[in-house]
Copies of this chain bind each other. A is one copy, B any other.
Amino acid sequence: MKLLDSVLERIRPSEEDRRRLEEVVSTLLERAREACEREGMGRPMLVGSVARGTWLKGEKDIDIFLLFPENLSREELEEVGLKVCREVARGEGRERYAEHPYLTFEFKGFEVDLVPCYEIPDPRRTKSAVDRSPHHQKYVSERLTPALRDQVLLLKQFMKGMGIYGAELKIHGFSGYLCELLVLYAGSFMELVRRASKWREGQVIDLEHHYPTEEEARRIFENQTLIVVDPVDAGRNVSASVSLQTFATFVRGCQDFLKNPREEFFFPKPVRKLKKAELARILRKRGTEVYCIIFRPPDVVPDVLYPQLRKTERALTAALSEAGHKVIRSDVWGEGRGAILLEIQPCLERIEIREGPPLGVDAENFVRSYLHSPLKLAGPFTDPAGRIVYELQSRAPSPQKVIRETLRQKHLLGKHVGEALQEGYRMVKSPGLPSLLDDPRLSPFLSEYFTKCFPWYR
């Protein structure tokens, strides 16, 4: 297809790109080999998209794993591993911590991750997720022909364009490794799109036939949206990070692309930046009440921050619903500023129908509770369904009050986000929202929220 060819032109790295990358990689590998030699153990291994030739033009990530013998203790691995990393980085970079510590630094315009791990021959015996990467590397590189690599590039760009590329907890999307497996499964980008357009929840892909039937795989990975059995480890679902929302977006995108393939799937228009007057008009049209809670975000990586933001969002929407306010939509943001946006239809009901016990149960206490209550509007009487009721003045708390009280209950919020909120926050209500567009750290969030649609329809 012409469209795919022209997309490939734009996303395939040039000979010059490749040459520059190879140069940088060989320098780094050389340094790593020397450092390992000095320690008398370990060996470096290039992994990830660079190693497999599936990196998109413009991507700057280089992943080098350092493989150490299994018989090292965890402490020894961390000590010697980080020492080698530091020697490679020559004092640059930052140590980070996922399951293990690792080191990340900038080198000649590239983002380099140096990750120590165990070298474990049997992938089912790995001690942690990082030990599995060398096996993924081996599995994919043995199977991916140059032609298939182009198909992976197309799929990755397709996912990127849809906003669902990346296993990070902010995105809950499709990882690079998952994209590679999907191409191996379908044989080409277009065939994958055709197949995926018919997917439903519980789709199973088991390249190595680890399970006798799809039902068996579904039993093991219960309630998971998409099940892609890891070829090197039957116990792992490579797409465990894919949320139902992301999955459904992908399936809908594939359906739409088949009907009308367009460049915009790969390269969507950017989100339209809303002007103040425009946002004010949108807010009037929507007729909702919007509350935006703004705070200084805690200094943690996105994979820690976003789950906490979502947890706080869930606590707020649950409390608002509980109080009778209908939540229309909500979203969170953590770049530069922390923000939680809640859009609601507030409950204006001032009458609460309070129902008493059923017939056969004495209603004396119920009757007595409200007979002289200042909240009583009418009653007691029996309604047409035979229930004894009072009509009372409703005491539904305002959305502001519900939000403030929920944000005080730290146990309902994520740890760091909860702490950040205790230090203070601003609550901005809808008519004040347009003024937030002045803050460039918030305007992309608000613009995206109020123009929300599939990127290929922007």
| Interface residues of A, Cβ cutoff 8 Å to B | 198-201, 225, 243-245, 247-249, 251-252, 255-256, 259, 282, 285-288, 326, 328-329, 345, 348-351, 353, 358-360, 362-364, 367, 371, 377-388, 391, 393, 450-454, 457
Contact = CB atoms under 8 A, between A and B. Distances in A.
A259 to B, nearest CB: 6
A244 B382 CA distance: 9
B388 A252 contact: yes
A380 to B, nearest CB: 6
A382 B450 contact: no
Given A360-B200, A379-B452, A243 B328 contact: no
Contacts of A350: 285-288
Contacts of A387: 248
A376 to B, nearest CB: 9
Q: How many copies does the complex hold?
A: 2
B248 A386 contact: yes
Judged by DSSP, the binding face of A is mixed
Contacts of A384: 243-245
Contacts of A249: 381-382
Contacts of A457: 371, 380
A381 B328 contact: no
Contacts of A393: 285
Given A385-B244, A453-B381, A348 B351 contact: no
A255 B363 contact: yes
A451 B383 contact: no
A245 B382 contact: yes
A363 B198 CA distance: 12
A201 B386 contact: yes
Given A199-B360, A251-B359, A286-B350, 20 more contacts: A199-B359, A200-B359, A201-B359, A201-B386, A245-B384, A248-B359, A248-B388, A249-B382, A252-B388, A255-B363, A255-B364, A282-B377, A285-B377, A285-B393, A287-B350, A328-B353, A345-B349, A379-B453, A380-B454, A380-B457
A378 B451 contact: yes
Contacts of A380: 252, 453-454, 457
A201 B328 CA distance: 41
Nearest to A356: B252
A157 B255 CA distance: 73
